[in-house]
Structure 1
């Protein structure tokens, strides 16, 4: 005689089997959810991190003694002797050549406008605005040992200005920066300058450096 299986036992077996199946599925799903390592990438030869023949080369600051096409270097302050030549007066302004002479043992190249300003006192403080540039920048030229170039500097007679506006002050010389240089040179000059920057005009003007000594 065959006994009928108890419905309660059959239900228990079925439930256990179902739990096992679900547990197995849950484990598999968790493994698949883990982040997978990315496949190795090949560097792009056109990316910015890769060397490229079209990439611009590093440049040298313009104020440094850079080599020129001829292998010469720009004239440095330490290689130049500066002096003031005699000049001519005109319309309340005296024009004098500021002369740059190469005293080094090698040639150097010079080009452009020097920076010029009045200085006073033991501390060398600047008096009034620096010289205003006039005209175009000239071309480069070579100074061999003993050669000179000059820039014409205009000195306005500040006595013609109103005293209150000018604020006249005795100066003891000029602070000069040769073109493309960051080191200055002192040039003695006993005169009077305007400490104010409110004067109606320019107390100092300067032109680009050219060959020669300005006839001095």
Structure 2
């Protein structure tokens, strides 16, 4: 895999309570840059088109044990596993492999979005998070972790509503990381921000490869 880098990017008691209340809606908030229907076969990592700023912030940082470091883009290889179709959506594991010479810790939701063109511009909204954030775990060299990504078949949308556009693949931000990666996936995405439902969804990272 060859990584692709995209450029990116006292309160009173009542104010604190308001902030905490805003954090209680996990499960449907947008992940970092995000998915659509994979109408092509397998995908592999490759050089990314060009870089652009992320559309949302990475996961909040998680503390680690002494000597442990969070997994960075440079530590990881990215790939897409085989998919299972269901009700107009294809679900595929987005697989992270530790290719570094040291263990690293990973936790949470990756940011996922469609990108197109040589400039790597984002197509449509980023993937929407589904479910709860999982616990942290360590990846040793060669270990894998995955997040399930849902790709809606955008051909089911009205053309005017969808504004279909060819895409080159996915821009991916590992959890708690601001440097992006790229995985090739030529397909079609909806450029519109107003489609019904979510063309891309993503779940928290788990151990294994999802296959």
Is TM (by shorter chain) over 0.5?
Answer: yes
Change beyond 3 A, Cα 1:65–1:145? farther
Where structure 1 has 5 or more consecutive residues not aligned to the other structure, the ranges are 1-61
Where structure 2 has 5 or more consecutive residues not aligned to the other structure, the ranges are 1-57
Q: Which of residues 94, 99, 120 is equivalent to 1:98?
A: 94
TM-score normalized by structure 1?
Answer: 0.69
Q: Whose radius of gyration is greater, 1 or 2?
A: 1
3-state secondary structure, aligned to 1:74: coil
Q: How far, CA to CA, are the matches of 1:137 and 1:96 in structure 2?
A: 18
Change beyond 3 A, Cα 1:73–1:67? farther
Q: Which structure is higher in RCO with an 8 Å CA cutoff and minimum separation 6?
A: 2
3-state secondary structure, aligned to 2:161: helix
Partner of 1:171: 167
Listed as ranges, the matches of 1:142-181 within 5 Å are 142-181=138-177
Larger helix proportion, structure 1 or 2?
1
Moved over 3 A (4+): 62-67
Partner of 2:71: 75
Change beyond 3 A, Cα 1:72–1:171? same
TM-score normalized by structure 2?
Answer: 0.71
3-state secondary structure, aligned to 2:74: helix
What is the CA RMSD across the aligned residues, in angstroms?
1.6
Aligned residues: 154
Partner of 1:188: 184
